[in-house]
Structure 1
Amino acid sequence: MTNDSTAERTAILAERTPEPLVVPPKVAWRLLGCGNTHGYQLIADGELQSYTDGRSRRITMASIREYIARRVASADAATPSTARRSALQHNHRVLDGLAPRAS
């Protein structure tokens, strides 16, 4: 069996396997790249939706996606425009003495 057929089987299984609607905290934290303290704070702050099923907590994948989308949108809004960025870069070059000198 070659790697190609293994890759093909993996791709087929990925297509057939539905994405979970909810995940346990450990999986959610791994997806978000955070630890327990920050993750549970996100739940307490209402940033992530969760519920308990018996003694197990579950976090909705939709709320994880929405949280990421909000963070990306706020980061995009905080990014300076291209013209402003160019001016800032020019100012840094001048301050560092790297700007070309006028003849």
Structure 2
Amino acid sequence: MSNPELPDFLKGKIVCSPEDGMRAINAKRTKFYEILNAGELQSYMDGSRRQIVVASLVDYVRRRLDAGKSKAA
């Protein structure tokens, strides 16, 4: 199984902004919020700011990689 690495700008962080999350998985805003609203990422509201759990970004990428392997097999 492939082990995706965090981009440097997320290393050492537990949570990040949606903008950093979009950058990390290379998703545009609409797609990112589709993924988020589908429950694929963990997040919470901190006042009026949404925070994305960084580990959920890595888990999402792993699931996508695994899904791609299943289709190729």
- State the TM-score, normalizing by the size of structure 1: 0.59
Query: Equivalent pairs: percent with the same residue?
Result: 31
User: Whose RCO is larger (CA < 8 A, sep 6+)?
Assistant: 2
- Counterpart residue type for residue 51 of structure 1: Y
Q: Are 2:47 and 1:50 equivalent residues in the alignment? A: no
Structure 1 Cα separation of the partners of residues 36 and 24 of structure 2: 15
Structure 1 ranges of 4+ moved more than 3 A? none
Q: Are 2:69 and 1:79 equivalent residues in the alignment? A: no
Task: Choose between structure 1 and 2: higher strand proportion.
Answer: 2
Structure 2 unaligned regions, length at least 5: 1-7
Task: Choose between structure 1 and 2: higher helix proportion.
Answer: 1
Aligned to 1:32: 25
- Counterpart residue type for residue 19 of structure 2: K
Specify the SS of the correspondent of 2:32: helix
Q: Deviations over 1:6-28 (max 9, x none)?
A: xxxxxxxx8xxx61000000000
Question: Per-residue deviation at 1:49?
Answer: 0.6
Structure 2 Cα separation of the partners of residues 55 and 35 of structure 1: 21
Structure 1 unaligned regions, length at least 5: 1-13, 81-103
RMSD: 1.4
Structure number with larger C-alpha Rg:
1
Q: Deviations over 1:41-79 (max 9, x none)?
A: 111100011101011111001110110000000101111
